[in-house]
């Protein structure tokens, strides 16, 4: 069975996935909103992008309509900074 818009994965893909534990056609939160790409820049730093390839400047950008202003490029967040921000937000939400 193939579901339209369902993400596909390949060996070697670097992704961040927000998923639900409940049984679902697609456990990824928001279908592609909860799926992020990770790509290494020329300095060897892993950077985070949306599934559509838009640089992710901050976690709050996830799920917002992607509008890319080429006059003001967004610097993609490093994977380590992204992980730290998400970990802090989860810890705070659990208080």
Per the CB < 8 A criterion, the answer to whether 17 and 34 are in contact is yes
**Is the pLDDT score of 90 beyond 90?**
no
Confidence of residue 31 (pLDDT cuts 50, 70, 90): low
25-29, 37-41, 59-63: least confident range: 25-29
In this predicted structure, what is the pLDDT of residue 66?
57
42-65 pLDDT, tens digit per residue, is 999 999 998 888 899 888 888 776
The number of beta carbons lying within 10 Å of the beta carbon of residue 6 is 12
In this predicted structure, what is the pLDDT of residue 69?
56
């Amino acid at each position: 069975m193939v579901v339209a818009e369902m993400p596909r994965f390949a060996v070697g893909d670097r992704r961040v996935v927000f998923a639900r534990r409940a049984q679902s056609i697609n456990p990824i939160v928001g279908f592609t909103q909860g799926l992020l790409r990770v790509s290494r820049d020329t300095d060897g730093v892993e950077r985070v992008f949306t599934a559509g390839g838009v640089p992710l400047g901050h976690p709050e950008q996830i799920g917002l309509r992607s509008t890319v202003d080429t006059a003001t490029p967004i610097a993609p967040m490093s994977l380590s900074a992204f992980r730290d921000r998400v970990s802090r937000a989860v810890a705070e939400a659990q208080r």
